[in-house]
Structure 1
Amino acid sequence: MDSSTLIFIISAFALGVILILSRNKIPASLRRGMAIASILLILFAFFLIVYSFFTAGT
């Protein structure tokens, strides 16, 4: 796994955790957009994890 991939995975999950922990402090107008963006980033991070497992042996 490349170091930039690992940094992206950690930052995507960190963004999700930060949004969950501070959901009451985020304005309502930004809450939905940031939640959708973080879900997309976390899904892409999961894809990168699975892809790295499949390509680990080659």
Structure 2
Amino acid sequence: MDTTASIIFIIAAFCLGGIVIMQKNNIPPGLRRGLALSSIAFIVFAFFLIVYSLATMGS
């Protein structure tokens, strides 16, 4: 597993979530729901990658 790509994805997912939260008033209503759902999906997958990398760290 390429750890560099995983780390970049994790950082990007959390940055996207932070930007969506901070700029929620400036995002158009039609785009807000889809952007929020996609950022939640990315953050959940990032958490999965973190847990998976911690679980396989010893092997």
| TM-score, with length taken from structure 2 | 0.96
- 1:28 CA displacement: 0.1
Backbone CA RMSD of aligned residues = 0.9
Letter in 2 for 1:56: M
State, as a whole percentage, how many aligned pairs show the same letter.
Answer: 55
Task: Give the number of aligned pairs.
Answer: 58
Alignment of 1:57 with 2:41, yes or no, is: no
- 4+ runs of 1 displaced by more than 4 Å? none
* Structure 2: gaps spanning 5 or more residues: none
Structure with the bigger RCO (C-alpha within 8 Å, sep 6+) is 1
**Match of residue 23 from structure 2:** 22
